[in-house]
């Protein structure tokens, strides 16, 4: 199945860079939403991956918008002089910036994104999503953040110190069986330990980064994980 490329100029989608108030400053963020929205429009905070709010992340925000979700990606590197991730394939220039992200700054930034969405969609339910590094941020907010997030969508990440029995929001998660950094048995233990609603799938033959064209892109796994994610989030975030 050929993957469609949503344009940042899609007439059905409003896509733009915005600024979000945060601790007396303005944080840049990318915003994508359906042109037609209501107070109940479902919303999503998409946590950026290692390459920042690059063209890949913006594409996924646009796809979420096409699926009906108003989506914001806070630029967590805005405090640093990080390079653009657009077109980048070498992760090494971004590692130092990723290591500079601390809970005491990431958490307020993600909360600010949620607040910004709720001010515009006062009857919304908000989810959190992320790939790899962003998936870690999303997974860490599946416990203790039930007042903010109603569901989580995660691609290829685990948080070893998170007890899955404590996860308190519905989770859809996707993994590659050939991911060298995430053993299949660890994913299975996580899946089997969940007590709430969940959809966790391991894709045979898929590696880490199977959703990202710059890495080990697996079109079948990417498309199936996308369809599962939208099918899972839609009834849980739509009013």
> Which tens digit of pLDDT belongs to each residue from 153-190?
999 999 999 999 999 999 999 999 999 999 999 999 99
Contacts of residue 47, Cβ cutoff 8 Å, sequence gap at least 6: 73, 74, 76, 110, 128, 129, 130, 133, 134, 135, 137, 138
Give the whole-angstrom CA distance, residue 7 versus residue 171: 28
| pTM, to two decimals | 0.94
Task: Name the percent of the chain lying above pLDDT 70.
Answer: 96
Q: Is domain 13-237 in CATH 3.40.50.1820, yes or no?
A: yes
Give the start-to-end residue ranges of the domains of the chain: 13-237
């Amino acid at each position: 199945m050929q993957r469609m490329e949503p344009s940042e100029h899609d007439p059905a989608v409003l896509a733009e860079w915005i600024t979000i108030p945060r601790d007396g400053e303005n944080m840049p963020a990318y915003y994508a939403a359906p042109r037609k929205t209501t107070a109940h429009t479902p919303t999503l905070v998409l946590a950026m991956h290692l390459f920042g709010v690059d063209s890949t992340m913006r594409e996924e925000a646009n796809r979420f918008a096409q699926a009906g979700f108003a989506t914001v990606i806070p630029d967590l590197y805005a405090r640093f002089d990080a390079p653009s991730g657009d077109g980048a394939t070498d992760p090494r220039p971004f590692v130092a910036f990723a290591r500079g992200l601390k809970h005491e700054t990431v958490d307020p930034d993600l909360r600010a994104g949620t607040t910004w969405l709720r001010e515009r969609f006062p009857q919304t339910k908000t989810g959190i999503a992320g790939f790899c590094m962003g998936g870690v941020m999303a997974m860490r907010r599946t416990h203790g953040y039930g007042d903010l997030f109603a569901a989580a969508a995660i691609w290829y990440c685990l948080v070893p110190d998170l007890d899955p029995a404590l996860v308190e929001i519905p989770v859809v998660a996707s993994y590659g069986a050939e991911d060298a950094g995430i053993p299949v048995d660890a994913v299975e233990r996580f899946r089997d330990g969940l007590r709430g609603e969940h959809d966790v799938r391991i894709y045979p033959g898929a590696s880490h980064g199977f959703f990202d064209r710059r890495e080990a892109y697996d079109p079948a796994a990417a498309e199936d994980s996308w369809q599962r994610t939208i099918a899972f989030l839609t009834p849980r975030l739509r009013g």
